[in-house]
């Protein structure tokens, strides 16, 4: 049975990834709901995939999580530290406090054009927000520059994909698993040095009730008797794929046929189509390997690609569009889109 990519735990809960005998946790901020695939999936499955019995001495490392979205406000930056395997992870205890955090907009030569200062958010240890609002510019490079209280330096650079647009949507209501899939025509998103755009799709259920689960999700939920909660199933994200998976039209637009595996709940759903920058694409595709999406044997699975100096995690970017659609059950199927 296909594995549903469940949502990240709510803020304050630990999510753990094995990395040479220790674990790290990345917690979701608002932009992550646009991605909703990498971190929980890696952190859940990599412990099972990797052999940690001979991991050696634990060495603490820093962890970064931040996602720039083209045309949207500068994002929060979360700083935490890894913890040893087989310990209880406490996000507050592992938070990196009182760090100096700056995001820099770079010019074409790689020099700093604009500096954006950050400050720690009150009541949210290890979470840093920009001191002044500023929109993320598409097709520009940004650098993260962090100095921790002990003097350690963390840096990372990301190039933001170009914005793109929804040109048409085939319907606002569709019947689950019918031959008529939801079709979305989008413009192309450009990215320097690439002739293909890498995407992932995230579906967010807007009416989360047990009696609205589609059959596959209901089987995973198992009546609430297992470890999976309704909140875990609210967001469902795909692995990364390239635009060649869909139809390229003569006018250079793309027709995306929404896969039914993205749906976990009948009723209204918000679908995010994300064009991924290189950092985020590498992070996601290596996460797929961590989940068993390869022929590697346990103990041979390579590390997740992070593209940060001085830390694990991700400083990445994307552009996104969103569409809402109502998914109705087939005639005679369980579930209802009526208002209780």
pLDDT of residue 214: 96
- The neighbouring-strand residues paired with 256 are 184
Six token digits for residue 216: 């596959």
| Alpha-carbon gap, residue 37 to 199, rounded angstroms | 12
Check residue 86 and give left, alpha or beta (phi > 0: left; psi -120 to 50: alpha).
left
For the stretch 163-197, pLDDT in tens is 999 999 999 999 999 999 999 999 999 999 998 89
pLDDT band, residue 6 (cuts 50/70/90): very low
How many CA atoms lie less than 13 Å away from 69 in the CB half-sphere? Answer: 17
How many CA atoms lie less than 13 Å away from 279 in the CB half-sphere? Answer: 27
pLDDT of residue 309: 97
Write down the mean pLDDT value for the chain. Answer: 82
CB of 61 within 8 A of CB of 310? no
Residue 262 C-alpha from the chain's centroid: 15
CB under 8 A, 24+ apart: contacts of 169-173: 169/323, 169/325, 171/325, 172/324, 172/325, 172/326, 173/325, 173/326, 173/327, 173/328
For the stretch 279-329, pLDDT in tens is 999 988 887 766 555 555 555 666 788 899 999 989 999 999 999 999 999
pLDDT band, residue 131 (cuts 50/70/90): very high
For the stretch 78-100, pLDDT in tens is 999 988 877 777 778 899 999 99
How far the first Cα of the chain sits from its last, in Å, is 31
pTM higher than 0.85, yes or no? no
Residues with Cβ within 8 Å of 137's Cβ and at least 6 positions away in sequence, in order, are 70, 105, 160
Six token digits for residue 161: 């994909």
């Amino acid at each position: 049975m296909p594995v549903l990519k469940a949502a990240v735990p709510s803020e304050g809960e630990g999510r753990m990834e094995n990395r040479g005998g220790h674990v790290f946790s990345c917690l979701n901020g608002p932009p992550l709901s646009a991605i909703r695939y990498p971190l929980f999936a890696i952190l859940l499955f990599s412990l099972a995939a990797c052999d940690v019995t001979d991991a050696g001495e634990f060495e603490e490392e820093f962890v970064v999580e931040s996602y720039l979205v083209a045309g949207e406000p500068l994002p929060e930056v979360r700083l935490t530290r890894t913890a040893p395997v087989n310990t209880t992870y406490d996000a507050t205890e592992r938070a990196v406090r009182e760090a100096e955090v700056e995001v820099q907009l770079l010019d074409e030569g790689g020099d700093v054009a604009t500096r954006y200062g950050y400050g720690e958010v009150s009541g949210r240890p290890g979470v840093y927000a920009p001191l002044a609002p500023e929109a993320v510019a598409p097709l520009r490079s940004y650098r993260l520059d962090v100095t921790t209280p002990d003097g350690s330096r963390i840096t990372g650079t990301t190039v933001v994909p170009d914005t793109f647009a929804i040109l048409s949507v085939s319907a606002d209501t569709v019947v689950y698993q019918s031959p008529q899939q939801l079709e979305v025509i989008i413009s192309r998103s450009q990215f320097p040095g690439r002739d293909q755009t890498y995407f992932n799709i995230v579906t967010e259920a807007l009416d989360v009730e047990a009696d609205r689960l589609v059959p596959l999700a209901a089987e995973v939920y198992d009546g609430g008797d297992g470890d999976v909660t309704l909140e875990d199933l609210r967001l469902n994200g795909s692995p990364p794929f390239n635009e060649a998976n869909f139809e390229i039209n003569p006018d250079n637009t793309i027709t995306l046929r929404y896969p039914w595996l993205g749906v976990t709940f009948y009723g209204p759903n918000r679908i995010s189509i994300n064009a991924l920058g290189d950092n985020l694409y590498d992070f996601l595709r290596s996460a797929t390997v961590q989940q068993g999406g390869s022929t590697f044997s346990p103990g041979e699975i390579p590390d997740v690609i992070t593209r940060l100096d001085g830390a694990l995690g991700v400083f990445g970017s994307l552009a996104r569009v969103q569409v809402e659609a109502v998914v109705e059950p087939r005639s005679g199927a369980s579930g209802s889109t009526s208002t209780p």
